[in-house]
Each structure stands twice: as C-alpha cells, then as structure tokens.
C-alpha cells in the first residue's frame, strides 16, 4: 500500500478524491471488481505538471473511504514512454482488462499514440500486453482514451480522434474476444465541425437511450455556453451496429460550472450508472498559478455521481453513500427568519435548501468568495468566483428549463459542487480565497419566504494522508 503522505493543510480537499501528492487529472478504468470500487486516475506522482502520467489507483468499499495502491501502469515501455494516458477497464472471465493510450514522443519530437492493453488476475498487479492495433491513416496522432463496453456478444470501443482536416471526432472499433479489434468507422456524421479534438468519449445506455458523452476541445463561447477552455457534454440517440444516430444536433453541457471535464461512467453491482469527472481543466496559466502547487499537489476528481435519464435529461446526483460524510446535521428552518448569516465550524459543509414556490431572486455568498444567485424573471442561476490568476470576478450561468425548487451545495476549502433541482443542473468549481472566512451570508431575505427545508450538514474529512 502506498504510504499516505500529509501535505500542508492549505486549500486541502478532504472528500473529493485526490492523490497524496503530484498532479491528478482524468478518472480512468472505473470499475466494480471483486467486491470493490476501483478508481484509476491520470497521475503524475513526481510533480504538479502534465508529465510522467501513470495510472494512479485507489480502491474503496463504499465510494467514500479510499485506499491508495501502487500505480497500476507506469510509462516504462517503448509504446507508452511519455505517458500512460486515459482509458477504461473491463472484467472478463474474472480478469481485469485495462485499455489505455500509450503516448510517445518520437526522435523527431512528434506525437505517436498506441492503444494498449494490460491485464490483471487480482486487480492489483497489471501485466502490459502492448499495442492492440494500427490506426487508420486518415487521422492525426491525436487518437486516445479508449472506452470499452459490451452489448450482447460484441465488445465495442470508442476512441477520441482528430481528422486530417484537424476536426475532432470519435472512432468505433468492434471485437468478439476483447483482444482482436476491427475498425468500424467514425461514430456519427453529426457535428462534423465541432472543435479540433474530442477527448474521453463514452457511450452509455439509460432508459433505452444511448448517450454519447465526449469532451470537445476548441469550441467558441456562445452566450452562457462553452465558457471554459474545454467542454464536456452529451448527445442523446441510439447506438446501432457501430454508429450513433443522435436524436438531434444538440450537445448539452454536463456541468455548468468552471471545472468539470473528461468524465467516465461505469455500472456498479447495484446496476447504478456512476460517473466521476476531473475538477481541474483550466487554461495552463491558471493551472500554473493554483496555490496548492506550493504544497506539492494539484487537482482532484468530482464526487461520484449517479446519473439517470429523466424526461430525456441527464440528471446527476451524488451517490447515496455521500450521506455517510455527514457528521452533524442542523435543521435551521425555524431560525432562518431571525438570522442574517451562518457560521460554519469547518469548510466541509453540505447545504440543502428546498422551496415550495420558487424565490423571486436571491444572492448568497459562501466563505466570502463564491456567490450563488438567482433571478426568477429570467430563470437564470449564476455562480461567481474570483479568478486566482487575474483577481477578477467571473461567472458561469444557466437558464433553467423549470422553476427553481432545490439546491444542494457541497463545499470544501477550495472546491464546490452545486446540484440544482435534484441534479437537473450541476455547477462544479475550484476557488482559492486567502480570507477563507467560514460564513454563509445573503444579500437580502427574499429567498427565505417559500423555504420548506433548510439543513446544514458538517461533513467528514474522509480522505486523510497521514
Ligand atoms: C484529457 C486528456 C486525455 C488524455 C489525458 C492525458 O484531460 O488530455 O485526452 O488521455 O488527459 O493525461
């Protein structure tokens, strides 16, 4: 077992999955295998830059308490020497198969990508089998992030790609034995000009629909949409014989906040579909300025979210187990008319607020830093924070397609997730505020009128590196 190192307390997150040190990015290889949850993740254990990517490895019985194992994959072979990039896991005949991208810089400094396999008998030690196939010629070397699933007797793989015309796409491969793969073509004709690269594609089934989730790079902002450096979203449709037929051309962002990227889904032993995302994608200059770097770590994953399709909308809620984090719960509805702010004992808090009728407007401020506000006239919900590089305030917003009825907010010293209307919209973000006062305040009392439940939970510090 990996030694758990303690880093400085500053901005530490205690219940979002992170690494003991170094840089973490995409969740990889998510699987429930041999009675445990396995989360692998892109991890540079040697520093806080995007180099030396290994597959970090954490296991859990309950998605809340994690043990950190030795890295499952390290960039030690000719086909992955510059990084064991993202990919997925699949169990077959009791063995755990990991599919990942070997990233290579060749002698000319050019990129090469190999889709590789590693197999384990115990879920702890992995034997690399090397590259699985050669790529078709019509694509650049930006080919990565294999995601595997099975339908009937067929294994499918979807792979992020870039065409020679420098447009993003995803490729589909098929196999009958999980070892030999044939190229089927591009996943769909829709969105032929939608960014320059599609990372971390994923195809999942919910309620007889197929959902194609991907993370396109290179979209231009459009009103409140596509405001981050890279986006993550989904399309609804049907996946048939290697082709995704979308219901329409709509690409819906999965998260409306600042940091949520490269999510991956898996189905657990209770038949729940769960995703983790990476709460760290940001422009390089912002990343270099993240204050946790001085303590030797950067970034973390999102909470595990159970996803469902309700009225053709992807709805995300933290898995039920997240309630295990609650240490102390205070029902404050009866006091709310008398108080004008609430003081927290620690930054790790959950707030649940339910309204019987939607509030006309409100403006909350959390920890002197994150503002959450709503204007019913426009159905517009906005989250605002200070950019730690420019010191400017910046916002992300969504126009709700129904009245606001509930908010569930998860707070840590430098992270927040906000679930709106039982997960019909979600905002995820990081924030770094030197003041770090533990107050929740509001600008006026309007929002109190229709509140029917108001609970504040103090949350546990679940992930400690001793
Ligand atoms: C997404 C990504 C993947 C790649 C990995 C490298 O964040 O760029 O496409 O496999 O990160 O760490």
Work out which ligand 1 atom sits closest to the CA atom of 215: 1
Dihedral Cα 45, 49, 52, 55, nearest 10 deg: 60
- The mean per-residue pLDDT over the stretch 30-44 comes to 98
Query: Residue 21 in contact with residue 296, Cβ under 8 Å?
Result: yes
Query: Residue 54 in contact with residue 45, Cβ under 8 Å?
Result: yes
**Cα(179)–Cα(309) distance, integer angstroms:** 32
pLDDT at 3: 42
**What percentage of the chain carries pLDDT values higher than 90?**
96
Work out which ligand 1 atom sits closest to the CA atom of 85: 10
For 324-378, how does the pLDDT look when each residue is reduced to its tens digit (9 = 90+)? 999 999 999 999 999 999 999 999 999 999 999 999 999 999 999 999 999 999 9
pLDDT at 201: 98
Tokens 């290697």 correspond to 242
| Residue 94 clears pLDDT 50, i.e. is over it | yes
pLDDT at 466: 65
Cα of 47 to ligand 1 centre, how many Å?
A: 17
**Cα(453)–Cα(354) distance, integer angstroms:** 5
Backbone angles phi, psi at 285, to 5 degrees: -70, -30
Enumerate the H helices of 225-328 as residue ranges.
284-288
Cα of 83 to ligand 1 centre, how many Å?
A: 10
Nearest CA-CA partner of 168 in 228, 231, 98: 231
- The mean per-residue pLDDT over the stretch 33-48 comes to 98
Q: Ligand 1: which of 231, 262, 280, 281 to mutate, judged by most atoms within 8 Å of the beta carbon?
A: 262
The enclosing H or E element of 120 equals strand 111-120
| Residue 433 clears pLDDT 90, i.e. is over it | no
For 367-413, how does the pLDDT look when each residue is reduced to its tens digit (9 = 90+)? 999 999 999 999 999 999 999 999 999 999 999 999 999 999 999 99
Work out which ligand 1 atom sits closest to the CA atom of 42: 12
Task: Quote the tokens at residue 342.
Answer: 């609430």
**Cα(176)–Cα(72) distance, integer angstroms:** 26
- The mean per-residue pLDDT over the stretch 416-428 comes to 98
Query: Residue 293 in contact with residue 22, Cβ under 8 Å?
Result: no
Backbone angles phi, psi at 336, to 5 degrees: -60, -30
HSE-CB for 266 with a 13 A CA cutoff? 24
Q: State pTM to two decimals.
A: 0.96
User: In this predicted model, which residue has the larger pLDDT, 50 or 7?
Assistant: 50
For 172-207, how does the pLDDT look when each residue is reduced to its tens digit (9 = 90+)? 999 999 999 999 999 999 999 999 999 999 999 999
For 235-292, how does the pLDDT look when each residue is reduced to its tens digit (9 = 90+)? 999 999 999 999 999 999 999 999 999 999 999 999 999 999 999 999 999 999 999 9
For 153-165, how does the pLDDT look when each residue is reduced to its tens digit (9 = 90+)? 999 999 999 999 9
Tokens 């009392």 correspond to 445
Cα of 259 to ligand 1 centre, how many Å?
A: 15
Cα of 103 to ligand 1 centre, how many Å?
A: 10
pLDDT at 1: 43
**Cα(135)–Cα(98) distance, integer angstroms:** 19
List, by residue number, the catalytic residues: 26
Cα of 264 to ligand 1 centre, how many Å?
A: 12
pLDDT at 9: 57
Q: Ligand 1: which of 50, 55, 145, 283 to mutate, judged by most atoms within 8 Å of the beta carbon?
A: 145
Question: Pocket around ligand 1: residues whose beta carbon is below 6 Å from it?
Answer: 25-26, 42, 53, 85-86, 101, 144-145, 160, 199-200, 262
- The mean per-residue pLDDT over the stretch 298-315 comes to 97
pLDDT at 7: 44
Domains and CATH numbers, the chain: 22-318 (2.115.10.20), 326-459 (2.60.120.560)
pLDDT at 4: 41
**How high does pLDDT run on average in the chain?**
96
How big is the CA angle at 156 (ends 155 and 160), to the nearest 5 degrees?
Answer: 150
pLDDT at 195: 98
Cα of 412 to ligand 1 centre, how many Å?
A: 25
Q: Ligand 1: which of 25, 50, 170 to mutate, judged by most atoms within 8 Å of the beta carbon?
A: 25
| Residue 6 clears pLDDT 90, i.e. is over it | no
Q: Whose CA is nearest to atom 6 of ligand 1?
A: 85
- DSSP letter (8 states) at residue 221: P
**What percentage of the chain carries pLDDT values higher than 70?**
98
Work out which ligand 1 atom sits closest to the CA atom of 200: 9
Q: Distances in Å between the alpha carbon of 107 and those of 143, 190, 294?
A: 19, 37, 33
Chain centroid, CA 80 distance in Å: 24
């Amino acid at each position: 077992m990996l030694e758990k190192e303690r880093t400085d307390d500053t901005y530490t997150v205690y219940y979002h999955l992170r690494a003991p040190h170094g840089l973490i990015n995409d969740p990889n290889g998510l699987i429930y295998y041999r009675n445990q949850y396995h989360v692998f993740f892109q991890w540079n254990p040697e520093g806080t830059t995007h180099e030396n990517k290994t597959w970090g490895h954490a296991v859990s019985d309950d998605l809340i308490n994690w043990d950190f194992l030795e890295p499952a994959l390290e960039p030690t072979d000719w086909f992955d020497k510059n990084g064991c990039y993202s990919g997925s896991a699949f169990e077959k005949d009791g063995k755990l198969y990991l599919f990942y991208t070997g990233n290579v810089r060749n002698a000319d400094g050019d990129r090469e990508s190999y889709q590789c396999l590693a197999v384990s008998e115990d879920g702890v030690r992995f034997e690399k089998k090397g590259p699985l196939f050669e790529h078709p010629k019509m694509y650049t070397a930006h080919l990565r992030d294999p995601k595997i699933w099975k339908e009937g007797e067929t294994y499918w793989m979807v792979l992020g790609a870039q065409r020679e015309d420098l447009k993003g796409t995803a490729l589909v491969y098929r196999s009958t034995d999980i070892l030999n793969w044939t190229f089927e073509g591009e996943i769909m004709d829709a969105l032929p000009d939608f960014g320059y690269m599609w990372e971390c594609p994923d195809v999942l089934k919910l309620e007889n629909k197929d959902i194609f989730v991907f993370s396109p790079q290179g979209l231009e902002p459009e009103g409140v949409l596509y405001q981050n450096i890279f986006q993550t979203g989904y399309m609804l449709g049907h996946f048939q014989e290697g082709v995704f037929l979308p219901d329409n051309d709509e690409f819906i962002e999965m998260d409306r906040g600042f940091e949520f990227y490269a999510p991956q889904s898996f189905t657990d032993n209770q038949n729940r579909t769960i995703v983790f995302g990476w709460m760290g994608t940001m422009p390089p200059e912002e990343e270099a300025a993240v204050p946790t770097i001085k303590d030797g770590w950067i970034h973390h994953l999102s909470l595990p979210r159970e996803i469902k399709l309700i009225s053709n909308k992807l709805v995300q809620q933290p898995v039920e187990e997240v309630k295990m984090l609650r240490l102390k719960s205070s029902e404050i509805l009866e006091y709310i008319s008398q108080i004008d702010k609430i003081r927290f004992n620690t930054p790790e808090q959950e707030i649940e607020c339910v309204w019987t009728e939607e509030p006309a407007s409100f403006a909350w401020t959390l920890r002197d830093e994150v503002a959450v506000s709503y204007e019913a006239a426009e159905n517009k919900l906005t989250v605002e924070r200070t950019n730690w590089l420019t010191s400017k305030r910046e916002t992300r917003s969504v126009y709700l397609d129904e009245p606001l009825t509930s908010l569930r907010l998860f707070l840590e010293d430098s992270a927040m997730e906000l679930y709106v209307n039982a997960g019909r919209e979600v905002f995820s973000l990081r924030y770094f505020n030197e003041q770090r006062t533990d107050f929740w305040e509001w600008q006026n009392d309007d929002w109190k009128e229709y509140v029917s439940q108001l609970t504040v939970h103090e949350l546990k510090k679940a992930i400690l590196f001793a």
